[in-house]
Amino acid sequence: MSVGFIGAGQLAHALVKGFTAAGVIATQRITASSPDSELPTVSGLRKMGVNLTTSNKEVVNKSDVLFLAVKPHIIPFVLDEIGPDIEDRHLIVSCAAGVTISSIEKKLLQYRDAPKVMRCMTNTPVVVREGATVYATGTHAELEDSKLLEQLMSSVGFCTEVEEDLIDAVTGLSGSGPAYAFTALDALADGGVKMGLPRRLAVRLGAQALLGAAKMLLDSEQHPGQLKDNVCSPGGATIHALHVMESGGFRSLLINAVEASCIRTRELQYLADQERISPAAIKKTTLDKVLQQPGVTVSGVANGSGRSGLSLFNNHGSNIKKKKN
Amino acid sequence: MDPEMDSQLKIGFIGAGNMAFGIAKGILSGNVLPVNVKVSAPSSRNLGRFQELGIAVTHSNIEVVCGSDVVFVAVKPHLVPLVLNEISLHVTDRHIIVSVAAGVTLATLEELLPENSVAIRLMPNLPCLVQEGALLFARGSHAKQEDGALLRSLLHRCGLVEEGPEAWIDIHTGLSGSGVAFVYLFAEALAEGAVKMGMPSALAHSIASQTVLGAGKLLRESGKHPAQLRSEVCTPGGTTIYGLHTLEQGGLRAATMSAVESATERARELGRKSAAGSRK
């Protein structure tokens, strides 16, 4: 089995690192594409022995499982480009936040009767094989496809299937989650430094404390509230600290954060569905490089409803038939 | 505790207020016979409800002490020194003196009573009146384990009875003595929320009180951590989690912790003041 990555950024790099550490796949069987060969993640992948190319088509041809690891607004360009090259064997796994299975299937159905599409939301700790991944299955994906993806993603952490409508909430919680943790750790380290610890030690201890606590919770049947109680001796240091945290609205802040991330994900998805992202919103260098690929065109100006700007999920109709020939 | 011994035991109350009444009711639902209970108060105002239970009443504190094995001193804190001075000569080392006066320390009690007196400090709370109290007691220097056990068996129908070091009594005051009022505040606010949303007030209050009662009962009987029970009520994306989020944003947890803290601090302060006062 071969695995391909369209996009060779943080996510692709993290997944490859995790997969190879887990030994589920040899790097020679992995191909990744990127328009920018100068990216640090690209060199990182090259060093690991991954086959790199600037051609998305090459990735498609050399893979069975194809991860779409580009930014959400690039997805439609990619799908248009690789659509004609998709075969029956291909399993397309989109990792793009906010991009729905139906929008991907709609695009690919122009080229293929039954494109096998899955959508996953993972997170960066896959790089150390402690990722949190959920996936949803598309219309034409089979049970074996689910099993395959689950096998791959379980090698780099926790993986489970969900209904697609939960993926935005997952994004808010575990997708963004590592960032919440990094922020917390930075601040905890500051606290340690303020009270006299050297920075490096403070960071190490803070990280270990959170790691240990998370492990305890995962290993335990107990509610986190109970585990918290177990740490708080009466009148002791910890309960004093907790009171300070409660007074600062710690809990509601975290609830708000997860909510904000989830809502923003939905917003982005909505914007994409509206087919209304201006070219200026797409990072200029990336767009240029993408447009330099043979066979990629920007669709015309106005569509039926008179909207201008790049149309992301537009039916190119006759253009496509010409390209195929 | 030996039920036969219980039925021989003579219990006295100095003071006929709510606390005394609640405790008396609890004691009587055990094995103590009403004929073995006596209560004293300066006026007859509060004595009627005791008489209805078959309890003998008097205006003489000394009569209560002489006729009892266990004496509950249930007068207002500032009256305790007065009362103890009055009865002191009649207190023997077979008596168990149980004070329910807030802020009056064991040291103060033992100072006012004869040497070697058995003194126990008890902090009940208002729901003793309906036999659902939370009671914490601390033994004085000459109160033995058996004295504590006797008190525990007398009180067990008043509600939850626990023993602890004297230092915990102020905390218990903040948590459970005052805590009852915190719950009333919460119940009132629940009802007002419902009224705001369109429910008639009387119904809202009735439902609010039942909600508090029911939740409390479930909490006690399930043996589960409240966090666990809370999680069990919250369906994903449901009404409860939305409401809880609003409560968290309102800082309810921190405010509640602080409330217990304030009440406890105040109990400690009052304890220090009364100890200073009684040394005059």
What are A270-281's pLDDT values in tens digits?
777 766 555 555
Q: Which residue of A has its CA nearest to B237?
A: A169
**Does A77 map to a domain?**
yes
Query: Of the candidates A129, A146, A167, which is a domain's last residue?
Result: A167
> In chain B, how many H helices and how many E strands?
13, 8
Q: Which of residues 33-62 of B touch A (CB under 8 A)?
A: none
- Domain shared by A182 and A105, yes or no: no
Using alpha carbons only, what angle is made at residue A115 by residues A111 and A116, rounded to the nearest 5 degrees?
A: 160
**Does A64 map to a domain?**
yes
B249 Cβ under 8 Å from any chain A Cβ? yes
Q: Which of A222, A226, A249 sits opposite B249 (nearest CB)?
A: A249
Would the CB atoms of B258 and A252 count as touching at under 8 Å? no
Q: How far apart are CA B106 and CA B275, in angstroms?
A: 10
Query: Of the candidates A139, A167, A195, which is a domain's last residue?
Result: A167
**Does A269 map to a domain?**
no
Q: How far apart are CA B205 and CA A271, in angstroms?
A: 46
- Going by pLDDT thresholds of 50, 70 and 90, the confidence category of residue A325 is very low
- Going by pLDDT thresholds of 50, 70 and 90, the confidence category of residue A313 is very low
- Residue B42 near residue B14 (C-beta atoms within 8 A): no
B231 Cβ under 8 Å from any chain A Cβ? yes
Q: Render A32-74 in DSSP notation, one character per residue.
A: EE-S-TT-HHHHHHHHHT-EEES-HHHHHHH-SEEEE-S-GGG
Would the CB atoms of B231 and A249 count as touching at under 8 Å? no
Q: Which of B225, B231, B253 sits opposite A246 (nearest CB)?
A: B253
Identify any residues that bridge with A117 across adjacent strands, giving them in sequence order. Answer: A92
- Domain shared by A145 and A214, yes or no: no
Residue B243 scores a pLDDT above 70:
yes
- Domain shared by A160 and A205, yes or no: no
Q: Render A180-233 in DSSP notation, one character per residue.
A: HHHHHHHHHHHHHHHTT--HHHHHHHHHHHHHHHHHHHHH-SS-HHHHHHHH--
- Domain shared by A15 and A160, yes or no: yes
SS (H, E, C) A90-104: CEEEECCCCCCHHHH
The residue segments making up the domain with residue A228 are 176-256
Q: How far apart are CA A227 and CA A220, in angstroms?
A: 9
What interface predicted TM-score (ipTM) does this complex get?
Answer: 0.72
- Domain shared by A108 and A213, yes or no: no
How confident is the model over A247-268, as a mean pLDDT?
93
Residue A310 scores a pLDDT above 60:
no
How confident is the model over B237-246, as a mean pLDDT?
94
Q: Which residue of A has its CA nearest to B232?
A: A223
- Domain shared by A140 and A24, yes or no: yes
- Domain shared by A21 and A143, yes or no: yes
- Residue A45 near residue A12 (C-beta atoms within 8 A): yes
Q: How far apart are CA B41 and CA B57, in angstroms?
A: 8
Task: Assign a CATH topology to domain B3-164.
Answer: Rossmann fold (3.40.50)
How confident is the model over A135-153, as a mean pLDDT?
95
Q: Render B94-134 in DSSP notation, one character per residue.
A: T-EEEE--TT--HHHHHHHSPTT-EEEEEE--GGGGGT-EE
In chain B, which residues have their Cβ closer than 8 Å to the Cβ of A247?
Answer: 251, 254, 258
B179 annotated to bind ligand: no
- Domain shared by A187 and A120, yes or no: no
Identity at B237, one-letter amino acid code: G
In chain A, which residues have their Cβ closer than 8 Å to the Cβ of B261?
Answer: 243
Q: Which of B227, B257, B258 sits opposite A226 (nearest CB)?
A: B227
Which pLDDT belongs to residue A294? 58
B222 Cβ under 8 Å from any chain A Cβ? no
Q: What is the pLDDT of residues B16-46, one digit of tens each?
A: 999 899 999 999 988 889 999 999 999 999 9
Of the candidates A2, A61, A15, A12, the residue with the CA atom closest to the CA atom of residue A32? A12
Percent of chain A with pLDDT strictly greater than 70: 84
More confident residue, A207 or A294: A207
Would the CB atoms of B253 and A223 count as touching at under 8 Å? no
Cα B72 to Cα B30, B48, B233, B260: the distances in Å are 17, 18, 43, 27
How confident is the model over B161-184, as a mean pLDDT?
96
Residue A320 scores a pLDDT above 80:
no
Query: Of the candidates A238, A256, A274, which is a domain's last residue?
Result: A256
- Residue A128 near residue A155 (C-beta atoms within 8 A): no
CB pairs under 8 A between A and B: 42
Residue A121 scores a pLDDT above 90:
yes
**Burial profile B224-252: b = 16 or more Cβ within 10 angstroms, e = fewer:** ebebeebeeeeeeeeeebeebeeebeebe
Q: In chain B, what are the domain boundaries?
A: 3-164, 173-269
Which pLDDT belongs to residue A324? 42
- Going by pLDDT thresholds of 50, 70 and 90, the confidence category of residue A290 is low
* Mean pLDDT computed over every residue of chain A: 86
Which pLDDT belongs to residue A210? 97
Task: Assign a CATH topology to domain B173-269.
Answer: ProC C-terminal domain-like fold (1.10.3730)
Q: What is the pLDDT of residues B136-148, one digit of tens each?
A: 999 999 999 999 9
Q: How far apart are CA B38 and CA A233, in angstroms?
A: 43
Which pLDDT belongs to residue A287? 55
Overall domain count for chain A: 2
Q: How far apart are CA A121 and CA A135, in angstroms?
A: 6
Q: How far apart are CA B194 and CA B200, in angstroms?
A: 8
Q: How many CB atoms lie within 10 A of CB A5?
A: 29
Of the candidates A200, A202, A204, the residue with the CA atom closest to the CA atom of residue A212? A204
- Tokens representing A28 are 């020679």
Domain of A25: which CATH number? 3.40.50.720
- Domain shared by A162 and A180, yes or no: no
- Domain shared by A86 and A103, yes or no: yes
Domain of A196: which CATH number? 1.10.3730.10
Would the CB atoms of B248 and A255 count as touching at under 8 Å? yes
Would the CB atoms of A225 and B228 count as touching at under 8 Å? yes
User: What region does B36 belong to: left with phi over 0, alpha with psi -120 to 50, or beta?
Assistant: alpha
For strand A30-33 and strand A51-53, is the pairing parallel, antiparallel, or unpaired?
Answer: parallel
Q: How many CB atoms lie within 10 A of CB B102?
A: 18
Q: What is the pLDDT of residues A9-57, one digit of tens each?
A: 999 999 999 999 999 999 999 999 998 888 899 999 999 999 999 999 9
**A255: three-class secondary structure by DSSP:** helix
**Does A124 map to a domain?**
yes
- Residue B29 near residue B130 (C-beta atoms within 8 A): no
Which pLDDT belongs to residue A32? 96
Cα atoms found within 13 Å of the Cα of residue A239, Cβ hemisphere only: 10
- Domain shared by A183 and A208, yes or no: yes
How confident is the model over B253-278, as a mean pLDDT?
89
- Domain shared by A180 and A68, yes or no: no
How confident is the model over B258-268, as a mean pLDDT?
94
Q: Which residues of A touch chain B, with CB atoms under 8 Å apart?
A: 222-226, 229, 243, 246-249, 251-252, 255-256, 259
